[in-house]
Amino acid sequence: MSGGEWARYAGTMNIRRKLFRRWRGAWRGWTATLGALAGLAASTRGADPAESYAVEVSATVQSNPARITLTWTADPGVVNTYSVFRKDPGATNWTALINLQGTAMNYADSNVTIGRVYEYQVVRRAPTLTGYGYVAAAIERPVVDDRGKVVLVVDQTIAGPLATELDQLAQDLIGDGWTVARHDVGRADSPAAVRDVIRAEYVADPARTAAVLLLGHVPVALSGNLNIDGHGSRPLPADAYYGDVDGNWTDANGDGVFDQDEIPSDVELMVGRVDFADMPGAQASASFPGETELLRRYLAKDHAYRQGIRRTTPRALLGDRFEDYGGEAFAASGFRNFAALLGPGRTQVANTADNAPAAERWISLLAAADFQWVYGAGGGTVNSSSGLGLHGAFNDVWSSDLVAPGARGTFYLLFGSRFVEWNQPDNLLRAALAAPDYGLAAAWAGRPHLFFQHMAVGEPIGYGIRLSQNNRSLYTNQVNNNTRGIHVALLGDPTLRLQVVRPPGRLDIAPGGGAPALSWAPSADAAAGYHVYRSIAATGPFARLTTSPVTSTAYTDLSAPAGSFTYMVRAVRLEVSGSASYYNLSQGVFATATVTTPATGGSSGDIGGGSSGATGGGSGATGSASGGGAIEAWFVAALAAAALCRARLRPEGLRAKI
């Protein structure tokens, strides 16, 4: 089906629903006005038939007594039953909990334990269709200190120009609980050689290696012969290749294109790519900034998001031209994820009618306000989608619209022909990452449907893409085509999370007292206090020192042995998402200290002489007049720590050249 045909199909559907749409258009006009006036607090439920294929489930939780209450939005049609299922994360089948009448709108589960993650499936059976909804829920899930190891694969052509930004990214990842293994690769390297680098990291530590971030124009693996969108069978870019470390990807004819249409085995690593190669901005009145500049912009946005400098609003925008589409209901991927992540009534539906006033269209709403999540579906080309914008007979939105005026979505799910080929020039998915202020991730969502509900319990966005890549039918839509396709991919940083706690301010360590005495400027978000961590290396891994969060802004490490340490402090908040409560950690702030005489672990005569040969020199041993412990402490801002991080990361980069 050509782009025009997709658009015409949608047009036919429009004619069929003409009267209905007229009513809806009026209703949507009202909601758009309401949104503008009321800051969009109100629900703006539309009447997209695709919505019925999603059960828009969210959850509220309480701890005493422990209870998870699922709630869902009523469907406008006849409903026979709702069925609720549950499973543990990682389990491969659902356990039936209850069947409810079609009028039910909630279910309370009291057979739950505080701190555990539970997954729920709610199935709505109606005379003509079946809807599915999913949440990952938890009551006060504990903090996740250690996220594992992320393999940072850097296009070596950007290593120099973006050295500062790359160091900052590595420091942010460390401050988010990751261990960073950076490898710089050449654009001319083979995908197999790049995968070998990633696989070596995985083999060295399979339990902790969890994610891969491809930065710059890292070689693109092509695989399969898929007629994914009616435009003929063709190979598609396949970053899943880099996440499936042990699958048997074959190339029988030796042309460099892998044979597989589907992943040959489960994807082990969550992979994301930030790659602005071949983004000239052909439609734009002025060319896009260059590739390196777009990467610099992205890394600055990534940093601002993680640090809580740029806040995003927990609401969603959805524009859909395909609607039912034989039960595929692509936009159900938007409705069901957004309810699970953000809660009920947070999704605004754009007017995609042919005669929609400009102000009610998807791109206009997106430029006028920020939406943390965005779904958009329409007849596509590599750099456009119909029904969502302001251009031509089909109301196209162009890649340049997502870049030039500053579309304000953060996480995008987009669907339409052609632009699944994200390696094409001015690609729409990659354009979503190129906006000046917003735009951190994008994925092609509808064939198959994608499932990001675990972000509501604090998992990163890459968790959802990996789950969706490996999914066959555990999570589903009534019709869910092309599951396990090699094309399922995330453009963007896979380690980003749904909610951000602002970090503490600068961390200081004062000398004296025989133990490092930490103090820090408070975080406005640290409602639950702070956790303190220590490592022998600036690059981690960090061990947590505080059993429960400290509520003051100071901490003395009486347990420190002799040696040089990096300390990290992270703010803690009990976060409430669309389906869970969980203890969320901010980015870390860092400072270093050298202990020459430990406060504990021996008498004063012990003076740690064996370790005095470490960095402190001899001076610390005589410097302290009071109470034994002589600590050489100095203040380190994040950039200084990053410099140390860079020094440690560089050798790996050199070793990685292949």
Residue 556 binds Ca ion, judged by CB under 5 A: no
Which position among 43, 69, 265, 535 is part of the footprint of Ca ion (CB under 5 A)? 265
- Under the binding rule (CB under 5 A), the answer on residue 244 touching Ca ion is yes
The single residue among 257, 349, 636, 656 that binds Ca ion, judged by CB under 5 A, is 257
Q: How far apart are CA 136 and CA 145, in angstroms?
A: 20
Q: Which is nearer to Ca ion, 209 or 395 (CB)?
A: 209
Q: Which residue is nearest to Ca ion (CB)?
A: 265
> Is there a cis peptide before residue 219, judged by omega within 30 degrees of 0?
no
Residue 251 beta carbon to Ca ion: minimum distance, rounded to whole angstroms: 4
Segment lying near Ca ion (by CB under 5 A), choices 244-252, 302-310, 407-415, 468-476: 244-252
> Could you tell me where the DSSP H helices lie in 187-329?
191-204, 240-243, 291-306
Six-digit token string for 618: 């001899």
Q: Please identify, among the stretches 249-257, 300-308, 445-453, 511-519, the one whose residues bind Ca ion according to the rule CB under 5 A.
A: 249-257
- List, in sequence order, the alpha helices (H) in 473-631: 619-623
CA distance 646 to 28: 52
HSE value, Cβ hemisphere, 13 Å, CA-based, for 640: 11
Type of residue numbered 161: P
How many Cβ atoms sit within 10 Å of the Cβ of residue 657? 12
Distance of closest approach, residue 461 Cβ to Ca ion, in angstroms: 20
- By beta-carbon proximity to Ca ion, the closer residue of 228 and 257 is 257
Q: Are 545 and 518 in contact (CB under 8 A)?
A: no
Nearer Cβ to Ca ion, position 243 or 616? 243
Q: Answer yes or no: are the C-beta atoms of 427 and 421 closer than 8 Å.
A: yes
Computed from CA positions of residues 79, 54, 373, 278, in that sequence, does the dihedral angle turn out positive or negative?
negative
Contact stretch for Ca ion (CB under 5 A) within 17-25, 53-61, 238-246, 416-424:
238-246
Q: Give the binding range for Ca ion (CB under 5 A) out of 119-127, 243-251, 427-435, 583-591.
A: 243-251
Question: Which residue in the block uniquely carries the two structure tokens 């009145």?
Answer: 285
CB of 458 to Ca ion, least distance (A): 25
| Footprint (CB under 5 A) of Ca ion, residues 410-449 | none
In angstroms, the CA 302 to CA 310 distance is: 9
| Bridge partners for 150 per DSSP | 180, 211
Residue 257: CB minimum distance to Ca ion, A: 4
CB of 420 to Ca ion, least distance (A): 19
Strand-pairing partners, residue 396, are 391
Stretch that binds Ca ion, among 252-260, 356-364, 546-554, 643-651 (CB under 5 A): 252-260
Total residues at interface with Ca ion (CB under 5 A): 9
Task: Report if residue 253 touches Ca ion, rule: CB under 5 A.
Answer: yes
Restricted to residues 613-642, the positions that interact with Ca ion (CB under 5 A) are: none
Residue with tokens 């038939």: 49
Nearest to 420 by CA among 443, 386, 396: 443
The stretch near Ca ion (CB under 5 A) out of 78-86, 179-187, 237-245, 335-343 is: 237-245
Is 11 or 219 the residue whose CB approaches Ca ion more closely? 219
Rule CB under 5 A: is residue 255 a binding residue for Ca ion?
Answer: yes
CB of 487 to Ca ion, least distance (A): 16
Residue 266 touching Ca ion (CB under 5 A): yes
Residue 564 · residue 593 · CB < 8 Å = yes
Site residues, Ca ion (CB under 5 A): 244, 246-247, 251, 253, 255, 257, 265-266
